[in-house]
């Protein structure tokens, strides 16, 4: 039983670290995209910054009429 749990744990670690790395990659964006939206995130979504990318994205979309044109364009470029 212990060997099965250990093997299962070893199988799940690469999946979870791969997903984490992918999430980090998606988060970063280009320096230009970061610059375009960082002020809007600080202004409109500061409370959600520790809740992850999807929460921030939802917040930016919710505040779309208030965000800068540059940040809006980043969202549009990414199909949002």
C-beta separation of 20 from 13 below 8 A:
no
A 10 A CB-CB count for 60 gives 22
Separation CA 4–CA 76 (nearest Å) = 46
More confident residue, 3 or 35: 35
pLDDT score of 27: 52
Q: What is the mean pLDDT of residues 60-75?
A: 97
Banded pLDDT at 53 (limits 50, 70, 90): confident
CA 6 distance to own-chain centroid: 31
pLDDT at 44 over 80: yes
Q: How far apart are CA 10 and CA 80, in angstroms?
A: 36
Instruction: Please give the pLDDT value at position 3.
Output: 47
Q: Are 55 and 48 in contact (CB under 8 A)?
A: yes
């Amino acid at each position: 039983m212990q060997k099965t749990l250990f093997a299962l744990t070893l199988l799940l670690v690469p999946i979870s670290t791969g997903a984490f790395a992918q999430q980090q990659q998606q988060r970063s964006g280009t320096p230009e995209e970061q610059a375009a939206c960082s002020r809007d995130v600080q202004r409109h979504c500061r409370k959600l910054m520790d809740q992850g990318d999807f929460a921030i994205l939802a917040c930016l979309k919710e505040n779309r009429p208030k965000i800068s044109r540059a940040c809006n364009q980043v969202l549009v470029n990414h199909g949002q």
